[in-house]
Amino acid sequence: MKNAYEAYDMIQEIDPFSLKALKRVHGVMEKFLEVEAGEFRSGDEGVFNGDECIFVAPPPHLVLEFMTDLFSWMKRNKKKVFKPYPIEWTRNKKACHL
């Protein structure tokens, strides 16, 4: 939970259109939990419903390209489709209000 507090505190300071910032917040949020915290994954991933794979993520060698394309699209369209929401972080209530 401490990781989440630290990551939420960073949100007001980061550039929402920066891959570097995304990776930095991910690194804080997942430190001690995920070996690749703060980095794009290097292995295959999927979503399973029991033994059935219901979604296969793109292969790891394409993640950087896809994320770069996504962030480029976000930057080009931020006035049209991206509306940042103010976040009020209340530590004593342990809640994040959007």
**What is the predicted pLDDT for the residue at 56?**
95
Condensed to tens digits (0 to 9), the pLDDT of residues 19-41 reads 999 999 989 888 877 778 889 99
Nearest-angstrom CA–CA distance, 85 and 98: 6
| CB contact at 8 A, 55 and 46 | yes
Q: Which residue has the higher pLDDT, 98 or 29?
A: 29
Is the pTM value of this prediction over 0.85? no
**What is the predicted pLDDT for the residue at 12?**
80
Please give the residue range of the domain that contains residue 75: 2-97
Which domain CATH number covers 11? 1.10.3290.10
What is the average pLDDT across 43-65?
95
Tell me how many domains the chain contains: 1
Q: Which residue has the higher pLDDT, 43 or 80?
A: 43
What is the average pLDDT across 69-95?
70
Please report how many Cα atoms fall inside a 13 Å half-sphere around the Cα of residue 66, on the Cβ side. 9
Nearest-angstrom CA–CA distance, 82 and 74: 7
